[in-house]
Amino acid sequence: MERTAAQSVSPPATAGDQEGAGPKKRIPDTKPASNEAGAPIAAGGLRGVGLHKRYAAGGQALEVLRDIDLELAPGEMVAVVGESGCGKSTLLHILSTLDRPTEGAVYFAASCLSRLGSDELAEFRNREIGFVWQMPHLLPEFTLLENVMLPRLIAGEAERAAAGAARARLEEVGLERRAGHRAGELSGGEQQRGALARALVMQPRLLMADEPTGNLDEATAERVFSLLLDLHRRHGLTTLLVTHNLQFARRCDRVWRLHQGKLERLDTAFPGPSRAS
Ligand SMILES: Nc1ncnc2c1ncn2[C@@H]1O[C@H](COP(=O)(O)OP(=O)(O)OP(=O)(O)O)[C@@H](O)[C@H]1O
Ligand SMILES: [Mg+2]
């Protein structure tokens, strides 16, 4: 495959490095001053401190996030719900370093991500975060296998090793027999399972999913969500799920509602266990 095509992939590729690409490279040490981020954050945990986001739109200030503090513990899956336009995607973009807060900072383990430059952040995302969006964003003219290999090729891995890792992820999402098919020939649900395989091919520690089932029919959405939950657990990921589906949200460890720029815990609003059974 041409590297130029591989490098054109969008959205950003994901992280990790345990299947043949040598030792995992970690983000630079940007430890905050002792009390800046509060108590220590466990490896794999993510924290946002004092997050504000303001936009200037049409001459008017729009305050989307107002002084939000939050933490995702390692291995935790948190759902964010809220009405359209309340700022869920904005929050996900800030926590995943795709956007910067107007005020506040994001920490991953001991590192203050808000202090990193754009190249370091791109590398951080590449290594540590898997992304899944409402649309799969697979390259239709490339095979499914090639699509899933892309993050590893972009990271400089040899084609054979990248293919091995991609096949392993495709097996996990039940698409190993479709590896040679063009992505454009697959159904919407299959493409979204392929997007999940691509998100995890680098073995990231964080998974960011923005309405990953929003474009699917009910039965397919259930299948994709169950797969996402299963992969979250199997890979010990720390996962943020933005969703409008309250049934899926209640199967996560915790649920936050974003309302008027603030996060409220919704767990108690749902009857039954907070963890999926
Ligand atoms: N670059 C921008 N410039 C100005 N306003 C913006 C920008 N990006 C987002 N907004 C505004 O911020 C608010 C929050 O947008 P956001 O996309 O985060 O909402 P959301 O909760 O994800 O909505 P949905 O459920 O429809 O996806 C909206 O009012 C939106 O118009
Ligand atoms: Mg959104």
pLDDT-above-90 percentage for the chain: 74
The predicted structure's pLDDT at residue 29: 44
**Ligand whose nearest atom lies closest to the CA of 209:** 2
Residue 94 lies in a domain: yes
Residues with CB under 6 A from ligand 1: 55, 57, 62, 64, 82, 84-90
Q: What is the pLDDT of residues 225-266, one digit of tens each?
A: 999 999 999 999 999 999 999 999 999 999 999 999 999 998
Q: Going by C-beta distance under 8 Å and a sequence separation of 6 or more, which residues neighbour residue 277?
A: none
Contact 212, 177 (CB under 8 A): no
Residue 167 lies in a domain: yes
Residue 199 lies in a domain: yes
pLDDT band at 117 (very low <50, low <70, confident <90, very high): very high
Residue 36 pLDDT greater than 80, yes or no: no
Identify the domain containing residue 247 by its residue range.
3-28+73-99+117-269
Atom 30 in ligand 1: which residue has the minimum CA distance?
Answer: 85
Q: How far is the CA of 92 from the centre of ligand 2 (A)?
A: 9
Residues 98 and 264: their CA atoms lie apart, in Å, by: 23
Domain of 238: which CATH number?
3.40.50.300
CA triple 251-252-256, angle to 5 deg: 120
Residue 185 lies in a domain: yes
Residue 91 lies in a domain: yes
Structural domains counted in the chain: 1
Residue 226 lies in a domain: yes
pLDDT band at 65 (very low <50, low <70, confident <90, very high): very high
The sheet carrying 60-72 orders its strands as 60-72, 46-57, 103-108, 111-112
Residue 107 lies in a domain: no
Residue 64 lies in a domain: no
The residue with greater pLDDT, 70 or 28, is 70
